[in-house]
Chains A and B, each alone.
Chain A
Amino acid sequence: MAVVTIPKGPTIRLSDLDLRFSKEIKRLAGTDFHACLQCRSCSSGCPFSDYMDYMPNGVMRLVQLGLKAEALACNTIWICVGCHTCTIQCPMAIDIPGVMDALRERALAEHVDIIEPDILNFHREVLSSIERYGRTHKLEIMMRYKLKKFDLLSDLNVGMRMMAKRKLDLTPSRVERVGDVKKLFQE
């Protein structure tokens, strides 16, 4: 009798499958990742897949199965910049970066440990700059980001070169009716 050997891999327990989570992400992302047929076009084309723990198609599988803990904790959702290279290659027209957006937001709402805290801090500094001025003030974003990280030196050279070329304004470009913008942050 032929013996079929099943390659050893991580065990998926049926009790871990959270289909409510799957539904919630589908609603948030507004795209049907259940259509994913694991062709891996997304992962082949992704410019940043070398730096991801799960490939983009792997994340589609995680959300299909409702493997919530894995999907929310992976670094892929933070490394993805939303360049949509995957989207145009996907034969099933899945908005893959839209799924990443939904997972990031869920990860924050569920207070999951964020595996890429620097990327999150950067996003937060950008938003706080928009809250203050209505526009992004790049010099201040960089300074605050670096201060939080206790790392003022690593990009000093880049910062000085940009200053020398008048690329970093000392004062922000501001929205006049900044109250309009601030109120959007109150909710």
Chain B
Amino acid sequence: MPDAPAVDVSYFPGCSLATTAKENNQSLIECCRKMGIHMIELADWNCCGSSSAHSINHRLAFDLACRNLSLAPPGRPLVAACPSCTLRLKHAQHLLKNDGAARERYRQLWGKPFDPDLSIRHFFGLLAEVDLERLPAANGHARIDLIFAPYYGCMLNRPHALRSGSDHYGIMEKTLGGLGLRSLHWAYASQCCGTFLTVARPDIVTPKVNAILQGAAESGAECIVTACAMCHMNLEVRCTLKNPIPIFHFSEILSLAFGTSNAQNWFSRHLIDPRPLLKRKGLMS
């Protein structure tokens, strides 16, 4: 089936998708292509500053995010799929819009004024505008018979200054529901995974992660679908349960539903192997 005509967007992968979560990156680019979204990687992008920059050096957090904004070509939105990168980029833009000294610093460092019209978006914002019912890729494929626990982590939370617009709550349920999957309500859908504490305080993160995975399984989910690559990694790496249910990146399920030949490459990178479940469900040979 032909792909939809493409709309160009600038794409900011961020460090997690570029390295530890390549399967998230590849499946995202693929499912976007099928939805008519052409992801053009932001040339020479740098780390958004991650949690560490704003934790101990706010000036650096601002500057690191701003370099990325300065690289974005005008006229097309800058899209990220990592909730944390999106927040860092939007936070810098918020400062630029509201603080003359920030604008002056930007101009001096990057040799041009900042672009007040640059639209910074999370991938979910684009997804919300896609009419899946009219999408060729979304039709004609076997419906996916899976019961999933949608896991948003902390992505629905934002500081008040950045809370205008949609928080994307329910988009995983709505989108995947249209493709045959069944979602359920469960307690931990927006419980934080512990993010960077996974390195220095695994004693805190392990019980959190186990509770999340246990909670999903007890609610009757066959798998968890995550919105964030960092959450995905924490759930897989810090889980100490005996038989945890598999965890998918949202983009993997979307690509699977649209029909893909690359799933094997993605799923072989998971620490909790999802292939037995998919084979049992006839979704993989």
Which residues of A approach B to under 8 Å, CB–CB? 28, 47-48, 51, 79, 81-85, 87-88, 93, 95, 97-98, 101-102, 104-105, 108, 116, 118-124, 126-127, 130, 134-138, 141-142, 145, 155, 158, 161-162, 165-169, 173, 175-177, 180-181, 184-185, 187
A85 cross-chain contacts in B, Cβ below 8 A: 154, 157, 190, 192
Chain A residue with Cβ nearest B191 = A47
Given the known interface contacts A122-B199, A167-B20, the answer about A105 and B58 at a Cβ–Cβ threshold of 8 Å is: yes
* Complex CA distance for A126 and B109, rounded to whole angstroms: 23
A82 with B47: in contact, given A97-B159, A138-B19 (CB under 8 Å)? no
Once bound together, how far apart are the Cα atoms of A52 and B191, in whole Å? 17
Interface centre among B55, B159, B208 (most CB of A within 10 A): B55
A127 to B52, Cβ gap below 8 A?
yes
CB distance from A110 to the nearest CB of B (A): 13
A180 touches B194 (CB 8 A): no
B60 partner, pick from A119, A158, A162, A185, beta carbons under 8 A: A185
Residues on A with C-beta less than 8 A from B197 are 48, 79, 81, 119
Contact B192 A47 (CB under 8 A): yes
In the complex, what distance in Å separates the CA atom of A93 from the CA atom of B158? 11
- Which residue of chain A is the closest to B190 with respect to CB atoms? A85
Chain B residues packing against A (C-beta within 8 Å):
15, 18-20, 22, 44-47, 49-60, 63-64, 67, 109, 153-154, 156-161, 190-192, 194-197, 199-202, 204, 208, 233, 237-238, 268-271
Is A130 a contact of B160 with CB atoms below 8 Å?
A: no
**Contacts A118-B200, A119-B201: A165 and B46 contacting too (C-beta < 8 A)?**
no
Decide if A83 touches B192 in the complex (CB within 8 Å).
yes
Among residues of A, the one whose C-beta sits closest to the C-beta of B60 is A184
The 8 Å CB contact of A173, one of B19, B190, B196, B269, is B19
A162-B237 contact, Cβ under 8 Å, with A81-B195, A142-B199, A155-B202: yes
- Taking a contact as CB atoms under 8 Å apart, the answer to whether A166 and B269 are in contact is yes
A87 touches B50 (CB 8 A): no
* Contact between A181 and B46, CB atoms less than 8 A apart: yes
What 20 additional pairs, Cβ within 8 angstroms, besides A79-B201, A101-B55, A127-B57?
A48-B192, A81-B194, A83-B157, A84-B157, A84-B159, A88-B156, A97-B159, A101-B54, A104-B55, A126-B53, A126-B196, A127-B53, A130-B53, A134-B47, A135-B47, A137-B19, A168-B19, A173-B18, A176-B44, A181-B46
Question: Are B60's CB and A84's CB within 8 A?
Answer: no
Tell whether, in the assembled complex, residue A83 and residue B199 are in contact, meaning their CB atoms are under 8 Å apart. no
